[in-house]
């Protein structure tokens, strides 16, 4: 990319598992990178499940603001050509709902594009949304997609299968000696590595395909993934199945206490029931990933 044509990208969600890889992927492809964050410090700390710590050389500009409060975002889009967002709730404990974060925060970004020179919006939703549209998280993501379709922006939607960061939970349980599965775990999936998926995001920004599904190189069941984790840690397979009816009952109870955690519990239960298989765009295998977690774990012992 020659100097006068360098494109400027804003990365929202830069402290997250996928966002950190996305910052690096855009930077390595020659973009000028601004990140939006509510916590400067977290950018430079490693995230859970191998998300990298960013370095000063990965970022050209840091904008500290609260995406849920547009009045803190004045000037955010100045000079920006492309907006990328993987803002959403995974493990946050803010007491906010998917509607408030996964939808409204991304809607705020779309609105900010209106009076700017932003030409493209790259949004990370989910693979197979139609199969799980009853879930609050899916509805929030798909409202963003629908708003993008109705906007004048040249948008792209990346639709990933499960992330390796979620598979990391299977590794952690195996390392402790027992895994818990919700239901028998016979549903099929091909989760994808964060680094591989970030490359797909940049390719999607640069390509003509408007909506891109992306999975990893191995199709396996939840149970097979759990068993693989035991093999990598070198422990006998011990899996306890929590019946779906029991999990649903607990989710209902949790939902009475907290909408956020009730919705999250329903998402986890449904993800354990429904197949999530997409085109194999990642190359890192789940075995490679578990082995890297195991190596890091062994060093810390
Ligand atoms: N995990 C999967 O299997 C999967 C599959 C398909 C799609 N997705 C979607 O992919 C997206 C990214 O996932 P991820 O694993 O990278 O998530 P993540 O690690 O939790 O990162 C989410 C990002 O959103 C930001 N965020 C969340 N709540 C916020 C709030 N109230 N105010 C400001 N910022 C907030 C986080 O900032 P802080 O660090 O400050 O909290 C972080 O930068 C999500 O929308 C998720 O639904 C996930």
- pLDDT at position 4 is 58
At 16, the pLDDT band (50, 70, 90 cuts) reads: very high
pLDDT at 13: 97
pLDDT tens column, 240-263: 999 999 999 999 999 999 887 888
Q: Which residues line ligand 1 (CB under 6 A)?
A: 13-19, 38-39, 42, 67-68, 86-92, 94, 96, 101-102, 124, 126, 160, 162-163, 165-166
92-105: per-residue pLDDT in tens?
Answer: 888 899 999 999 99
Q: Quick one: pLDDT at residue 261?
A: 85
Long-range contacts (CB closer than 8 Å, 24 or more residues apart) made by 242-246? 242/180, 242/181, 242/182, 242/183, 243/183, 244/182, 244/183, 244/269, 244/272, 244/273
* CA of residue 5 to ligand 1 center, whole Å: 30
- Ligand 1 atom with the smallest distance to the CA of 15 is 43
Query: Sorting pLDDT into bands at 50, 70 and 90, what band is 2?
Result: very low
* pLDDT tens for each residue of 179-189: 999 999 999 99
Cα 133 to ligand 1 centroid, rounded to whole Å? 19
CATH superfamily of this structure's domain 3-162+192-214: NAD(P)-binding Rossmann-like Domain (3.40.50.720)
Contact 23, 59 (CB under 8 A): yes
pLDDT mean across residues, the chain: 94
Q: How far is the CA of 12 from the centre of ligand 1 (A)?
A: 9
Q: Please tell me the distance between residue 89's alpha carbon and the centre of ligand 1 in angstroms.
A: 5
Strand 188-189 with 220-221, pairing = antiparallel
For the record, the structure tokens of 149 come out as 């379709």
Give the pLDDT confidence of 31-44 residue by residue, as tens digits: 999 999 999 999 99
């Amino acid at each position: 990319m020659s100097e006068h044509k360098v494109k400027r990208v804003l990365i929202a969600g830069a402290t997250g598992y996928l966002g950190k890889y996305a910052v690096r992927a855009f930077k390595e492809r020659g973009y000028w990178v601004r990140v939006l964050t509510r916590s400067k410090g977290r950018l430079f700390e490693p995230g859970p499940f191998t998300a990298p710590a960013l370095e000063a050389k990965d970022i050209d500009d840091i904008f500290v603001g609260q995406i849920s409060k547009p009045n803190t975002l004045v000037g955010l889009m100045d000079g920006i050509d492309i907006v990328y967002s993987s803002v959403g709730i995974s493990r946050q404990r803010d007491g906010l709902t998917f509607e408030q974060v996964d939808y409204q925060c991304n809607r705020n970004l779309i609105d900010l594009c209106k009076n700017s020179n932003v030409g493209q919006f790259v949004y990370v939703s989910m693979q197979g949304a139609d199969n799980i549209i009853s879930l609050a998280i899916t509805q929030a993501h798909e409202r963003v997609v629908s708003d993008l379709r109705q906007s004048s922006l040249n948008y792209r939607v990346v639709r990933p299968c499960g992330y390796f960061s979620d598979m990391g939970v299977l590794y952690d349980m195996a390392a402790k000696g027992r895994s818990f599965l919700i239901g028998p775990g016979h549903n099929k999936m091909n989760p994808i590595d964060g680094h591989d998926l970030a490359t797909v995001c940049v390719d999607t920004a640069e390509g003509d395909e408007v909506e891109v599904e992306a999975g990893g190189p191995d199709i396996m069941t939840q149970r097979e993934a759990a068993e693989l984790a035991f093999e990598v840690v070198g422990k006998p397979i011990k899996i306890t199945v929590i019946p779906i009816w029991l999990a649903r009952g607990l989710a209902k109870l949790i939902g009475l206490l907290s909408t956020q955690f009730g919705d999250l519990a329903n998402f986890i239960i449904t993800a354990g029931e429904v197949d999530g298989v997409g085109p194999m765009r990642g190359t890192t295998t789940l075995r490679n990933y578990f082995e890297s977690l195991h190596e890091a774990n062994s060093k810390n012992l």
